[in-house]
């Protein structure tokens, strides 16, 4: 009985197996078997990855405040750890040594705030006492400059008309007292958290490093410890160099302000020294504005002299003092420092701007410790050494001489 035309070659073969050398075998997929088993696992893995990314992003958003506090605390701990190590090397335990460093920093901070507070009270008192005289001088200047005919009565009338706007602004500010108070409490709580974490990071620094390195194999422990030491060295060096530059700036501006007989010379000089060094990028302008304004109240010529001195000293600091002081602690190009500050401000705001320079210096030092560099012999191609010519074989020399002499053989 002939086989059916629709039967496959596999059915024709004995035992249901296709012949090995058959060219007519056509293997088709069984569409009724369902999806392959790996497809479900791949789908579950992709879903779990997406869910993990979303959950991690949500968790980072919720913990952004805590992470910022930890980052600032770690930076401050790196900054004071050289001083704590110095005290611990002389027999003092790390806990009391850290407390002693904290006490010194607290005294300096209170003295700085107290000095600036006294300056503020003095200037406000002077402004209130001399307000009528300043108003008359302002009216005279406006009349001379703009060819007007104003008087003190006109100024009082304008102030009275604007008083309603000012009162409305003050009422709105008073209504928002609760929000301002809540913000102040939150800032105070974060400041206490920073101090607490900084104390623990500095006091238990060796124990913390040991706990971190115990989770890593020995070859990775060396890299972690080296990176930690570089971070401590660069951060401490940054604070030390900034403090030394602030001291030099304070002394120089104090002498200039005393010579020009500007009141509150020490407070103004301290303001210029601290703000210009520890607030990146805009610190110089903020620092120089206050003494110029205070001097302007006492006379325009004095303000011009103060402004000129600030500009001259800034150039002296940038090109003479700063390269020598930061040569061993924070060797960084000014353009790199400026770019780091902008990047830090874009990432973490003011906190990132403050931490950008020491973090960049740490990364730069860590990269310099592992990236190999080569000495450049010369930047001008014409000055590069010319490789020596190799001696040519004797037959090539004879051929060249024969060609230059018109085919005559050389004579020995």
Q: What is the DSSP string of 80-91?
A: HHHHHHHHHTTT
Cα R_g (the chain), whole angstroms: 38
pLDDT, tens digit, for every residue of 269-311?
A: 999 998 888 886 678 888 888 888 888 877 778 889 999 999 9
- Element (DSSP H or E) covering residue 386: none
Mean of pLDDT values over 196-217: 87
266 close to 259: Cβ distance less than 8 angstroms: no
- Element (DSSP H or E) covering residue 125: helix 94-129
Same-domain pairing of 180 and 273: no
pLDDT, tens digit, for every residue of 39-60?
A: 788 888 899 999 999 998 898 8
pLDDT at 235 over 70: yes
pLDDT band at 166 (very low <50, low <70, confident <90, very high): low
Same-domain pairing of 281 and 339: yes
Maximum mean pLDDT: which of 4-18, 20-34, 109-123: 109-123
201 close to 73: Cβ distance less than 8 angstroms: yes
Which is more confidently placed, 222 or 358? 222
Q: Decide: helix, strand or coil at residue 203.
A: helix
Same-domain pairing of 174 and 237: no
Q: Tell me, rounded to whole angstroms, the distance of Cα 162 from its chain centroid.
A: 44
Residue 318 inside a domain? The answer is yes
pLDDT band at 412 (very low <50, low <70, confident <90, very high): very low
* Total domains present in the chain: 2
- Which ranges in 176-328 belong to alpha helices (H)? 177-203, 205-213, 218-259, 265-278, 283-298, 300-316, 322-325
Same-domain pairing of 184 and 268: no
pLDDT computed for residue 309 by the predictor: 92
Same-domain pairing of 287 and 319: yes
Same-domain pairing of 184 and 69: yes
290 close to 255: Cβ distance less than 8 angstroms: no
Which is more confidently placed, 159 or 15? 159
Residue 397 inside a domain? The answer is no
Helix axes 152-175, 177-203, angle to 10 degrees: 70
pLDDT computed for residue 1 by the predictor: 47
Among candidate residues 188, 215, 242, the one where a domain is terminated: 215
Long-range contacts of 102-106 (CB under 8 A, 24+ apart): 102/195, 102/199, 105/80
Q: Which domain holds residue 316?
A: 220-369
Same-domain pairing of 185 and 326: no
What CA–CA distance (Å, rounded) separates 361 from 365? 6
pLDDT at 394 over 60: no
- Element (DSSP H or E) covering residue 20: none
Q: Give percent of the chain above pLDDT 90.
A: 9
What CA–CA distance (Å, rounded) separates 104 from 87? 13
- Alpha-carbon distance values, 11 to 5, 18, 23 (Å): 12, 8, 15
pLDDT at 322 over 70: yes
pLDDT computed for residue 142 by the predictor: 76
pLDDT at 350 over 60: yes
In terms of phi and psi (left: phi > 0; alpha: psi -120 to 50; beta: otherwise), the region of 373 is beta
Residue 171 inside a domain? The answer is yes
């Amino acid at each position: 009985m002939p086989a059916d035309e629709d039967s496959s070659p596999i059915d024709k073969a004995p035992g249901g197996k296709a012949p090995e050398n058959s060219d007519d075998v056509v293997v088709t997929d069984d569409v009724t078997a369902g999806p392959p088993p790996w497809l479900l696992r791949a789908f579950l893995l992709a879903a779990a990855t997406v869910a993990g990314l979303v959950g991690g992003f949500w968790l980072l958003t919720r913990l952004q405040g805590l992470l910022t506090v930890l980052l600032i605390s770690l930076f401050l701990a790196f900054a004071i750890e050289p001083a704590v190590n110095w005290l611990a090397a002389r027999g003092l335990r790390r806990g009391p040594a850290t407390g002693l460093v904290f006490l010194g920093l607290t005294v300096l901070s209170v003295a700085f705030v107290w000095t600036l507070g006294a300056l503020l009270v003095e200037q406000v008192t002077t402004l209130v006492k001399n307000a009528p005289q300043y108003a008359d001088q302002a009216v005279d200047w406006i009349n001379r400059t703009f060819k007007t005919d104003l008087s003190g009565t006109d100024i009082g009338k304008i102030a009275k008309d604007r008083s309603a706007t000012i009162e409305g602004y003050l009422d709105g500010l008073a209504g928002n007292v609760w929000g301002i108070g809540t913000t102040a409490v939150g800032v105070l709580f974060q400041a206490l958290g920073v101090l607490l974490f900084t104390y623990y990071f500095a006091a238990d620094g060796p124990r913390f490093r040991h706990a971190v390195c115990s989770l890593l194999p020995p070859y990775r422990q060396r890299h972690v410890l080296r990176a930690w030491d570089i971070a401590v060295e660069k951060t401490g060096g940054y604070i030390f160099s900034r403090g030394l530059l602030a001291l030099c700036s304070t002394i120089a501006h104090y002498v200039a302000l005393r010579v020009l007989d500007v009141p509150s010379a020490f407070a103004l000089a301290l303001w210029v020294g601290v703000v210009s060094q520890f607030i990146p990028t805009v610190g110089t302008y903020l620092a120089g504005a206050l003494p110029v304004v205070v001097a302007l109240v006492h006379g325009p010529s004095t303000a011009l002299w103060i402004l000129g001195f600030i500009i001259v000293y800034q150039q002296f600091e940038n090109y003479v003092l700063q390269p020598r002081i930061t040569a061993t602690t924070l060797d960084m190009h000014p353009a790199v420092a400026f770019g780091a500050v902008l990047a830090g401000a874009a990432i973490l705001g003011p906190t990132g701007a403050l931490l950008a320079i020491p973090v960049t210096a740490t990364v730069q030092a860590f990269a310099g410790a592992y990236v190999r560099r080569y000495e450049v012999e010369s930047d001008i191609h014409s000055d590069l050494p010319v490789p020596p010519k190799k001696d040519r074989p004797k037959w090539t020399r004879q051929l060249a001489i024969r060609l230059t002499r018109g085919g005559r053989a050389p004579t020995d």
